[in-house]
Structure 1
Amino acid sequence: MEQGNYSVGLDIGTTKIVAIIGKENEYGKIEILGIGRSKSLGVHRGVVNNITQTIKSIQQAVELAEGNSGLKISSVVVGIAGQHIRSLQHSDYITRAKSEEVINEDDVEKLCNQVYKLVMLPGEEIIHVLPQEFKVDGQAEIKQPMGMYGGRLEANFHVVVGQVSSIRNVGRCIKSAGLDLGNITLEPLASANAVLSQEEKEAGVALIDIGGGTTDLAIFKDGIIRHTAVIPFGGNVITEDIKEGCSIIEKQAELLKIKFGSAWPGENKDNEIVSIPGLRGREPKEITLKNLSKIIHARVVEIVEQVYVEIKNYGHDEQKKKLIAGIVLTGGGSQLKHLKQLVEYITGMDTRIGYPNEHLAGDSDEEIASPLYATAVGLLMNAVQNKAKVREARQEAVDKELDREVFSGEDSTQTKTAIKKERKSIFDKWSEKLKDFLDNAE
């Protein structure tokens, strides 16, 4: 299969690195062609803190995915998270020189590019500029201004900002692993694409992605992203607490959490005991499941309460901003028993577990439809969409040139030359900016 037919998402997580290859089938669903997963060494709370180990882990995941699919990976779309991520609201406008012409994509792009020039704190860079609502000549609440007449185009933006050094380190790891960086996407946005339905985004929903090192939050209302946050706690702190509380090693603590862990202490009876083999020549340890779930419960409550503070910061208590669809939990940490009930109890909001299977082709492996792979599937979807946008922009340019040839009687050599100078899409320009930025960083 030629390179143009498939895309790759790469999820660099705190506990695992996942490379996932896929393509869009004729029904608009994502067909998974191969997947590779490796243990993540060198990433702490969503941020790269050991370049060499991260490169090794990336190469391992990529090789497994290539072996699985028989395809060669050259370019990837990567997710970014970590406690350095913050978001802000910003309004901006442009005055159009030709108000008698309709607003087109170039006007919206010009407005977005203006926001990228915002002055940030030292060491910070804008990752995403997400338009929320537009105003045309004072007329508010316009979702899509293209095709309208107007002299003044303004918009409210959700701007996601991150540390330059962290973005640079991710780019460095990708480059050193022998890959091209196609795009960088905020991980909660990728997870949201994979597990949320359009109806939920319209009604108002909070996506909570509980990973190993971080818990990511994305809030949608009226189909628009309203708030994002990254909380620097995840499943690993629960494992750490079990390790300390039960005086056992990390590997055993992780297994205990997965097999017997529960977020609701009332579930376990006092006489339910699990025996852990002792270290070399030592007696085995006996741990009551009630104690285990008490340790887990205390930490999970802390994580959920922090997320709930962010939901309140967005303004969930106001009638107009109410999240009717409640909460969707995803990520590896969402598989903890009775977590759904605990979140409903703390927040009083409807809750469900989000699986990324809605956008996958029917014959996809069951394992990939696990919440564990929500971010990776979302990144793959992003890569597929970007590819489609580039194709559309190219086709548009070709059509325009052919029309010109028909109407002006230009000869075919001129047309061919014009076709070669295809109009670049927003994505292409953004990728070039990013590549220049990474090249200059070295």
Structure 2
Amino acid sequence: MNITIDWLTKTTIQYFIKKINDGLSINRMDRCIEINFNATAPFPENLVPICGVIDYLKEIGFRIKVLYPKDSRLLQSGLSNPYKLPLNDYDLLSPTNRIWRYNTPEEVFKIVSAFVNHLNNKIVCAKGVVESFEWTINEIMDNVIQHSQSKYGYIMCTVYSNSHISVAIFDNGIGILQSFKGSKYRLRSPFDAIELAMRENTTRDPKIGQGNGMWGMKKIVNNNKGVLSITSSGVNISIDEHDTVLKHELKDKSIRMKTPYHLGTLVDFQFNCNNEICLSDIFGKNYEYTNLTLENLEDNQNRINVKISQFSFGCATRLAGESARNLVLNYLVQSNYSQIIILDFSGVSIIASSFADEFIGKLLQECGFIQFNNLIRITNISKENMSIINRSVMQRISEND
């Protein structure tokens, strides 16, 4: 069976499944599928469920061959072979634009930590965005493990140049409607199930959880003026940045092969990194989020220690300096500008002038001299590296004179 997917005109998982069903209607005994993606649309909401369906087809005995266009982004995404732990350090250092398969809490922790670290380096986020991002993907990934009865979950995150984050999480499980089976709730349709799941304190079994994951996600996305889409058991509910709710059913009613997409769940949401998210407005004034990243960096004087030698991106390029500056600015935001940040240069032999300018020179410009002097400390640095930094700082200061 040969399937050609043209994402220049069709971009949905329904289109992909219809192509498979059309092929099976011609020859139900054909267990070989060749999929030709002749255009690239590397968006998480498209790639993640297709990856899950391909994985499912392999498990039930289909032999899958995927042909990619010259653009290598699809090949690197893991569309036909999702990334799995354990992997080498490089893969976890560049976790975005890749589909990850997981099925244990330990894998969830490592994947989420990799996403958070990458986001801190990639872009400066408004207050509450990184914490909300971490909370949300933790909750939804855990939902897959706790409720879906799926062998695996799949997740992909993309950070766009316009300061938007897009995340898609998919499972091959029983769907939200069936997950409420045996509970006190009597639901008539998958629409009812999705709407119920987004209410506060709604859970199938209070012994497993309090039922605030989907509700919290909806409130966070709404607080950020982001967008949210949930598809499960053949129906979809979408909520846009104006809090407008849209409902629709999948078009393909005559399913000849029950694929996971018609049973399982796809959660797709987008944040705007420039829009603040106030978690206390959502969870109450007494809510305190524990930022484990900062907590692990704190010393006994409550200062945040950043070891420059441990930067995965090094100290030799301007791009590395930008990542370092983004990281420190995000730490300042996340600490509410209330903790001193120690920049520890021990173990760093030499830094590039471009790195020093992009990191320290521009950091001083963005913070201002007084705030920089109050909150930033540079320690364990060689005379040579300090001279390079001083020169970069003086040049930046002279630009403003």
**Same fold by TM-score greater than 0.5:** no
Q: TM-score, normalising length from structure 1?
A: 0.22
Higher-RCO chain (CA-CA 8 Å, sequence separation at least 6):
1
